[in-house]
Structure 1
Amino acid sequence: MAASASAVPLTTEVATSENSSSFYDYEYYLDQVAFMLCRKDEVHSFGKVFLPVFYSLVFVLGLGGNLLLLVVLLRYMPRRPMTEVYLLNLAMSNLLFVVTLPFWGISVVWHWVFGNFLCKMVSTLYTTNLYSGIFFISCMSLDKYLEVVHAQPHHRLRTRAKRWHLTAMVWVAALAVSIPEMVFVQTHEHPLGVWSCYPDFGGHATIWKLVFRFQQNLLGFLLPLLVMLFFYSRIGSVLVRMKTPGQGRALRITVALVLAFFVLWFPYNLTLFLHSLMDLSVFGDCRISQRLDYALQVTESVAFLHCCFTPILYAFSSRRFRHYLKALLATTLGRHQAPGPAQAPLSSCSENSSLTAQEEVTGMNDLGERQTEDAPNKRDVGKSEA
């Protein structure tokens, strides 16, 4: 839970229990009392309807889409290129993320009925896979940058050993970020017989909430966005210089990948940042607090859509994946395809021979593959001329 609001979707704690001074300013004290008495009944009622419906939608779409992606990758890509390895781990991360949503949905409608162990487990899964999904998207942009810009299929960061090392590092980093969930999150009974699952920071709640929110802003949005902007801007400049028939589509895919990440994650991170400013007493009153609670529920739910849309954008930017998906659907539906183009997805040689010249440059992945294949040929021509 990046900002603790995920574990307790209906409430946003605005009062702080820590104060190192023994003397209080009376007017400040009255303001704090008024702030603590701010009622959130309407916010709670809205969340009890909106959140379970949205969580159910994301769960169904995310589960179906990522399972399909996993099946295609595991069945038709036994010798997976590096980008497909990242895509495979992204699909696994998204699946683990969406399975936590029914728990939160039930806790919103009723209360946390799953006990303390599942409270810690589900919270850890949520945070680990939230960050790992974002990190794998960044890794995919790095890999595509090396493939298109440098045209080096055997770059030291693209070897079989390195790709698994990077994959392991992503999982370790995401797990390290979720350690506070294991430590602080636990069940709480209030009122009697009603349980909730959220972090207990003792007398330092405000400080820890600020830390987690800025962590989400930095690691979960700002740094990945800068990484994507740098790599994809370089990719875009190379695609413009290549002047191939598929340049326009590849550029649109590049822009779509960055825009999808920004549109899904910016509103949520902006809301978290405004919550932090309110906790720091930069601004805020009861009405603003209520509006930010509404905004947090909506923007966080919209951000969850990343596990549904992002894999689709990446997968369908690859010509190989589209043909593998067609083969899977044909097999599932029981269609018997004739040999030749129908068997193209199973081998790169038959695929290249059966596709038209226009199809060979239909996406960013295809242009990267073509750029990679052309590099050795250019070196061979140079040697023969010498």
Structure 2
Amino acid sequence: MLTKASLLPLTTTSPENSSFSYDYDYLDDVTVLVCSKDEVLSFGRVFLPIIYSLIFVLGLAGNLLLLVVLLRYVPRRRVIELYLLNLAISNLLFVVTMPFWAISVAWHWVFGSFLCKVVSVLYTINFYCGIFFITCMSLDKYLEIVHAQPLHRRKTRFRNLILIAIVWTTALAISVPEMVFVEVHKTQDGVWHCYADFGGHATVWKLYLRFQQNLLGFLLPLLAMIFFYSRIGCVLVRLRPPGQGRALRMATTLVVAFFLSWFPYNLTLFLHSLLDLHVFGNCQLSHYLDYTLQVTESLAFFHCCFTPILYAFSSRRFRQHLKAFLAVVLRWHQDPGAARALPSSCSESSRVTAQEDMVSMHDFGERPADDPLNKGPVGNG
């Protein structure tokens, strides 16, 4: 859950991991620790709107570019491209919520009760979908390379469409607390805020939602990616296909990028939970964790800006489509009429690309049927 700014005790806008949920002075209606948060809130009112705005601009540009290329130049999308398409849609819906939270942090909630609930639900659904689709892409490459499952079988495609539907359904189920508890609240000084009010069970819900994010939003996806890419790496080392070195570096980069983006944020959330459980804590530590949560959250959210591009550029096929798209845009600026002639050259470029040697991990699945990687299951060795 997002650290959106309700600036009130027991606030939990969207994903309850809110750096704005400064609720350390309550534990189910029992006062246990009272700390002044004025400096932390002042920092957040300046820092977070800037970061959220930057995430919105970069995420919108990068994911729109990815979406346009996939929709225009890849009419018969492979499974990995279906995942990329859904990842781009999910990230776009996620970054669209950023301006709302930026305004809410800097000022207060001015968008009414309906948008409060809708934006909170959108945030949670697409927060988890983005992480789940990244995990699905690693699973797809694992099955394709380690177990030599064919790419284009109708049964395989149907199975992956079902998996995509399960991802969206699971994320929707996770957002149920936002549907139920998120509302607009008016403070004593007449300021409106959007957050989830769990009543007397606020601390229990906070702990549950934080541990849920630690588990479903980080630990399990990370372990899955490590397992899948490790097994892929073992196969590549044993078979030594062309481009092995680059493929291994790409696999390592994807796992490391995920870890570096999400580990600091999830660690801070975990420490916040320990603080709420009275394992340790004082006002100074509480302040440090608040500052850290705002910074690490910002780092984590940038993941939706660069991850789709990172995955897309791991495929030579996508890079060819991107070059064709940029050529269309450039030629359109120079001569609007000449841009129409480009799609045929784009198709020719794709045919040439398909005949080139694979040089990246996501291109292994495109090799011909007589390639050693497709000579039956290799995961048993």
With structure 2 as the length reference, what TM-score do the two structures score?
0.88
- In the other structure, the counterpart of 1:15 is 25
Is 1:60 equivalent to 2:62 in the alignment?
Answer: no
Distance 1:377 1:150, change over 3 A: closer
SS in 2 for 1:159: helix
Residue among 342, 345, 355 paired with 1:343: 345
Is 1:312 equivalent to 2:304 in the alignment?
Answer: no
Partners of 2:349 and 2:372 in 1: CA distance: 22
Distance 1:157 1:120, change over 3 A: farther
Partners of 1:244 and 1:52 in 2: CA distance: 48
SS in 2 for 1:186: strand
Partners of 2:192 and 2:29 in 1: CA distance: 28
- Structure 2: which amino acid aligns with 1:227? A
Residue among 76, 79, 86 paired with 1:89: 86
Partners of 1:98 and 1:187 in 2: CA distance: 21
- In the other structure, the counterpart of 1:352 is 354
Distance 1:340 1:92, change over 3 A: closer
- In the other structure, the counterpart of 2:74 is 77
- In the other structure, the counterpart of 2:108 is 111
- Structure 2: which amino acid aligns with 1:230? F
Distance 1:11 1:202, change over 3 A: closer
Matched-pair contact (CA < 8 Å) for 2:12–2:196: no
Is 1:266 equivalent to 2:266 in the alignment?
Answer: no
Partners of 1:103 and 1:377 in 2: CA distance: 49
Partners of 1:159 and 1:186 in 2: CA distance: 42
Matched-pair contact (CA < 8 Å) for 1:345–1:351: no
> How far has the Cα of 1:232 moved from its partner?
0.4
Between the two proteins, the alignment pairs up a number of residues equal to 360
> How far has the Cα of 1:13 moved from its partner?
0.8
Partners of 1:19 and 1:118 in 2: CA distance: 29
In the TM superposition, 1:34-45 aligns within 5 A as 35-36=33-34, 38-45=35-42
Partners of 1:376 and 1:269 in 2: CA distance: 37
Distance 1:207 1:376, change over 3 A: closer
> How far has the Cα of 1:372 moved from its partner?
5.7
> How far has the Cα of 1:160 moved from its partner?
2.3
SS in 2 for 1:150: coil
> How far has the Cα of 1:312 moved from its partner?
1.1
Residue among 282, 286, 294 paired with 1:285: 282
- In the other structure, the counterpart of 1:236 is 233
Partners of 2:241 and 2:321 in 1: CA distance: 24
Partners of 2:260 and 2:331 in 1: CA distance: 39
Partners of 2:374 and 2:267 in 1: CA distance: 48
Partners of 1:372 and 1:42 in 2: CA distance: 63
Q: Which shifted more, 184-193 or 214-223? A: 184-193
Is 1:148 equivalent to 2:145 in the alignment?
Answer: yes
> How far has the Cα of 1:193 moved from its partner?
2.0
Distance 1:361 1:111, change over 3 A: same
Higher Rg? 1
> How far has the Cα of 1:365 moved from its partner?
1.4
- Structure 2: which amino acid aligns with 1:370? R
Partners of 1:238 and 1:132 in 2: CA distance: 29
Matched-pair contact (CA < 8 Å) for 2:324–2:346: no
> How far has the Cα of 1:158 moved from its partner?
6.4
Partners of 2:351 and 2:268 in 1: CA distance: 50
> How far has the Cα of 1:244 moved from its partner?
3.0
Distance 1:370 1:330, change over 3 A: same
Is 1:369 equivalent to 2:366 in the alignment?
Answer: yes
Report the identity percentage.
64
Matched-pair contact (CA < 8 Å) for 1:2–1:212: no
In the TM superposition, 1:94-173 aligns within 5 A as 94-153=91-150, 159-173=156-170
Distance 1:255 1:188, change over 3 A: same
> How far has the Cα of 1:371 moved from its partner?
7.1
Matched-pair contact (CA < 8 Å) for 1:11–1:293: no
Partners of 2:374 and 2:141 in 1: CA distance: 20
> How far has the Cα of 1:74 moved from its partner?
0.4
Where do 5+ consecutive residues of structure 2 fail to align?
4-10, 333-337, 377-381
Q: Which shifted more, 84-93 or 189-198? A: 189-198
- In the other structure, the counterpart of 1:198 is 195
Distance 1:373 1:211, change over 3 A: farther
Partners of 1:377 and 1:45 in 2: CA distance: 58
Partners of 1:296 and 1:9 in 2: CA distance: 6
- In the other structure, the counterpart of 1:247 is 244
Distance 1:303 1:373, change over 3 A: farther
Where do 5+ consecutive residues of structure 1 fail to align?
21-28, 380-386
> How far has the Cα of 1:10 moved from its partner?
3.4
With structure 1 as the length reference, what TM-score do the two structures score?
0.87
The Cα offsets for residues 41-60 of structure 1, whole Å up to 9 and x where unpaired, read as 11011111110111111111
